[in-house]
Amino acid sequence: MDNVRFGIVGLGNMGSSHLNNLFSGKIPGAVIGAVCDIKKERIEWAKEICGNADIGYYTEYKEMLVSGRIDAVIIATPHYLHPIIGMDAFDAGIHVLSEKPIGVYTKKVYEFMDKAKGHPELTFGIMYNQRTNGYFQKMREIVQNGELGELKRCVWLITNWYRSQAYYNSGGWRATWAGEGGGVLMNQCPHNLDLWQWIFGMPKRIFATCALGKYHDIEVEDDVTAIAEYENGATGVFITTTGETPGTNRLEITGSKGKLVYEDGNLTYTKLSVDEREYTFTNTDAFSQPGNTSEVLDIPTGTGEQHIGILKNFTNHILNGELMLAPGMEGINGLAIANAMMLSSWKNEWVEVQNDGEEYWCYLQEKIKTSRIKEDAGIVYNTEGSYGDK
């Protein structure tokens, strides 16, 4: 294979961006083979972009999967369809790159993962473009190699996701249980939840308060405060909202040997002169503290190549066996945290993060029954999911 021929399902904001990146040659070894969208005006837009290029245009994604025009598919539809289209793609012998989130509820994503395991010859990836960010890569490296010592706490205050009511009014599927499957946790924060566990590890259990329509006329969560506990006794706090401005994006990780703080595009690393766990039981001054040094780390790669970086990595994995930066099988981790937060809020109790997903699915079905999704949303909802513009 000289080039990977990509197909795109869904030509909304993200799908259109992927088409532009592929068609303009920004991804070595990758070409656009076909596109699909249920809206004919989006197909016409794609034809204008691609001109006379030999590209297939479809309004039914299953036809595209078996057209012989593509080797891999990018899924950029509403969230419910990600695992559904992905499983159909695997059955058709097509590599899968899903937009985030990997799905809406873990019960369905477990099916998706089982299907992927049944096709080990095919590549499965997720568009976690924030994993290309050099700052987060460095934080992960420092934490994972033990430089911070025994992990104590991870706090992420991520409130710079402000959205006005006009944003939610822009699509009838937005911020509905039937159309989107959730609010800030499902739309804005999948990258943050992934990075949280990618850097610090998966929590054992969570207690959360998720306010529904606190700052907007919507039925899903727009304000979340969660507390997490880890196997080693460490704790975490995750706070997010789309209803505050100006917002803050501060990630702080503390261990027995120091602290990392990422904020305003700067990563500060404070190292203790001696491990705090040793110091606290050996020093003789009741009010002393271990010495420390602090520096702002120079990260030459900056925020990384983002979406283009993931596309390059995915393509190079297929062509040359390059190590995957964002394997699709890891997509369930952030989703499991999001589901646990919502379930905890609904039940008002601590919830184990890793479970079979059955209880969350049952709660979600009740929410869907009374969902305010608009009839003109361009989405047909059924028990398997929904389809329309992303």
Q: What is the pLDDT of residue 102?
A: 98
Q: What is the pLDDT of residue 171?
A: 80
Q: What is the pLDDT of residue 374?
A: 62
- Put residue 385 in one of left, alpha, beta given phi > 0 → left and psi -120 to 50 → alpha: left
- Put residue 324 in one of left, alpha, beta given phi > 0 → left and psi -120 to 50 → alpha: beta
Please report which residue ranges of 67-181 form alpha helices under DSSP H. Answer: 81-91, 106-117, 134-144, 165-169
Per-residue CA distances from 148 to 254, 271, 293, 358 (Å): 7, 8, 13, 37
The amino acid occupying position 304 is: G
pLDDT tens, position by position, for the chain (390 residues)?
899 999 999 999 999 999 999 999 999 999 999 999 999 999 999 999 999 999 999 999 999 999 999 999 999 999 999 999 999 999 999 999 999 999 999 999 999 999 999 999 999 999 999 999 999 999 999 999 999 999 999 999 999 999 999 999 988 888 999 999 999 999 999 999 999 999 999 999 999 999 999 999 999 999 999 999 999 999 999 999 999 999 999 999 999 999 999 999 999 999 999 999 999 999 999 999 999 999 999 999 999 999 999 999 999 999 999 999 999 999 999 999 999 999 999 999 999 999 999 999 999 999 999 998 865 455 444 434 433 333
- The tokens of 157 are what? 């205050």
What H or E segment, with its residue span, contains residue 31? strand 30-36
Nearest one of 64, 56, 58 to 40, comparing CA atoms: 58
- The tokens of 123 are what? 């590549």
* Residues 6 or more apart in contact with residue 90 via CB below 8 angstroms: 96, 115, 116, 118, 119, 122, 124
Domains and CATH numbers, the chain: 4-130+307-327 (3.40.50.720), 131-298+333-369 (3.30.360.10)
**CA dihedral for 335, 337, 340, 345, sign (positive or negative):** negative
**CA dihedral for 207, 329, 63, 51, sign (positive or negative):** positive
377-383 CB contacts, 8 Å cutoff, 24+ apart: 377/171, 377/172, 377/173, 377/176, 377/179, 378/38, 378/39, 378/172, 378/173, 379/78, 379/172, 379/173, 379/178, 379/179, 381/80, 381/178, 381/179
* Distance (Å, whole) CA 93 – CA 258: 48
* Distance (Å, whole) CA 155 – CA 165: 28
The amino acid occupying position 6 is: F
pTM metric for this prediction:
0.94
Please report which residue ranges of the chain form alpha helices under DSSP H. Answer: 13-23, 40-50, 61-65, 81-91, 106-117, 134-144, 165-169, 190-200, 276-282, 306-320, 331-347, 358-369
Please say whether the beta carbons of 109 and 103 come within 8 A.
Answer: yes
What H or E segment, with its residue span, contains residue 255? strand 249-255
Please say whether the beta carbons of 349 and 154 come within 8 A.
Answer: no
* Residues 6 or more apart in contact with residue 303 via CB below 8 angstroms: 132, 133, 134, 135
Residue with tokens 């766990």: 277
* Distance (Å, whole) CA 41 – CA 201: 43
Q: What is the pLDDT of residue 1?
A: 80
